[in-house]
Structure 1
Amino acid sequence: MPFPDELGAGVAVVGYNPDWPGEFEHLAARLHAALGDRALAIDHIGSTSVPGLAAKNCIDAQVRVAALSPELIDLLESSGFRCRPEPWNHTEVTNGQQYEKLVFAPAVGERATNVHLRVTDQPNARFALLFRDYLRADPTARTAWGAFKQRLAQSVPDLADYGQIKAPATKILMTSAEHWATQTNWTPT
C-alpha cells in the first residue's frame, strides 16, 4: 500500500523513458552510499529496467545482501528511505516457497521508487533478474507484456486491484522466462 503522499490519480503505465537508466544510477549511488559493502549488488529491475517496455513511472532497484537485518533498515531510514510496513512487503512467494524481503519507499517528495532488499542467493532475487533479462531479450514478449499492462491500467486504475490482476499473468510470463533461461543457459549476473 502506498504511503499517503504517494497516492495519486491511479495507475498510469507510460511509454518507455530513456531517462530511467540514469535515474536508476542516481538511486544506486544513494543506496551504495547508505549501505556500503553490505550491498553485494544493486540491480535495476522491474519494467523501467527494460528498454522499450511500457511501465509505471517508478524506478525499482534490488539490493542483494548477505542477510536481512535491522541494521539495514536503520541505515536506509537514516538516508531518508521509508520501510514499507505491510506484510506482503516483508515476504514473497517464489516457486511455491516463501522468502523474506524488505521494500522501501523514497522520502516524501522524492522521485517514485521501490527499493527491494533480498538475500543474494535466494530464488526471489533470481526471479527479479530473470524477469528483466527475459524481457530485454525477447521483443515479442516485451511488446505483449507492455500492451497488457497498458490495457490493464486503463481498465483497473486502482493500484491494489491492478497488482492483484497482474500477479497471475506474471506467473504465466515467468513460465516462458524459465523456458528461455533453460534454452539459453541464462544465469543471474
Structure 2
Amino acid sequence: MKENGITIKKYNPEWKNVFRELKKVLEHSLGDYILRVEHVGSTSVEGLSAKPIIDLDVVISHREILPKVIEKLSELGYSHQGDQGIKGREAFKRANSTVPFSEKNTEWMAHHLYVCALDNEELKRHLAFRDYLRANRDACLAYEKLKRELARTSPNRDVYTDGKEEFVFAILKKAAAS
C-alpha cells in the first residue's frame, strides 16, 4: 500500500534474514567496539506490516568509544549524521545501496542505522516498544491499523510519524507497568 509517498507492506519474513546479514557485516567490522546489534522498528515484529526499511541499533558500552565506531562505520560507507535531535542516539546515512560495503558487493535493502550507548533512553524505548508488540498481538494489530490509516491520510512522512506518537507513548507506559 502506498499513499502520499508512504509505503506500507505486509510483513515479509525476508526482513529478518536481511537484518541477520547486516548484523554479520557490522559485527565483523566493528568487532569488540560493540556489544550487540538490535533489530528494532516495525520490521522486527513478526506479522506486522511496515515501511520496508530495516532499523538497526548498534549498542556500544559507552560514548567514549563512539569516535572509533564512527571511523569503522565510515569504512563501511556510512556517514555520521549526529543525533538529529535525539540525545545519545547517533544516526548514520548510507553512501549508496551497497552500504555496508562487503566482499559480496551486496545491494542492501533500505535501512536506518543508529548507534546508542547501553544506558541510552532511546535504546531502552526502542527495545521496550518492540518487545511489547512482539508479546501482544492485539497491540500489534492496533498499531498496524493506525499505520495504514496514517499512510492513507497523512500528507507527508512527518505527519505520519507524529500521528503514531500518542500510540507509542501509551505502549511504552504499558510496557513499563508490566
TM > 0.5 fold call: yes
Corresponding residue number in structure 1 for 2:117? 119
Distance 1:177 1:157 in 2: 31
Q: Which of 143, 157, 160 is equivalent to 2:158?
A: 160
Q: 1:38-90: per-residue Cα shift (whole Å, max 9, x none)? A: 110111111100001111100011111012322211210110123235732xx
In the alignment, is the contact (CA less than 8 A) between 2:133 and 2:139 conserved in 1? yes
1:106 and 2:94 aligned: yes
In the alignment, is the contact (CA less than 8 A) between 1:102 and 1:117 conserved in 2? yes
Q: 1:146-175: per-residue Cα shift (whole Å, max 9, x none)? A: 111111011115122222222233112211
Corresponding residue number in structure 1 for 2:126? 128
The alpha-carbon distance between structure 1 residues 52 and 32, as it changes in their structure 2 partners (threshold 3 A), is same
One-letter code aligned to 2:170: I
The alpha-carbon distance between structure 1 residues 40 and 85, as it changes in their structure 2 partners (threshold 3 A), is closer
Equivalent residue runs for 1:135-146 within 5 Å: 135-146=133-144
TM-score (norm 1): 0.79
Q: Which of 80, 83, 87 is equivalent to 2:84?
A: 87
Distance 2:95 2:176 in 1: 35
Q: Which of 32, 39, 50 is equivalent to 1:55?
A: 50
Corresponding residue number in structure 2 for 1:36? 31
One-letter code aligned to 2:158: A
In the alignment, is the contact (CA less than 8 A) between 1:47 and 1:53 conserved in 2? yes
One-letter code aligned to 1:139: R
TM-score (norm 2): 0.84
One-letter code aligned to 2:96: V
Corresponding residue number in structure 2 for 1:150? 148
SS state of the match for residue 84, structure 1?
A: strand
Q: Which of 67, 71, 74 is equivalent to 1:70?
A: 67
Distance 1:174 1:14 in 2: 24
SS state of the match for residue 56, structure 1?
A: coil
Q: 1:81-100: per-residue Cα shift (whole Å, max 9, x none)? A: 23235732xxx2xxxxxx41
Structure 2: gaps spanning 5 or more residues:
98-107
The alpha-carbon distance between structure 1 residues 143 and 44, as it changes in their structure 2 partners (threshold 3 A), is same
The alpha-carbon distance between structure 1 residues 17 and 157, as it changes in their structure 2 partners (threshold 3 A), is farther
Identity %: 31
Structure 1 stretches of at least 4 aligned residues deviating more than 6 Å after TM superposition: none
Structure 1: gaps spanning 5 or more residues:
1-8, 93-98, 183-189
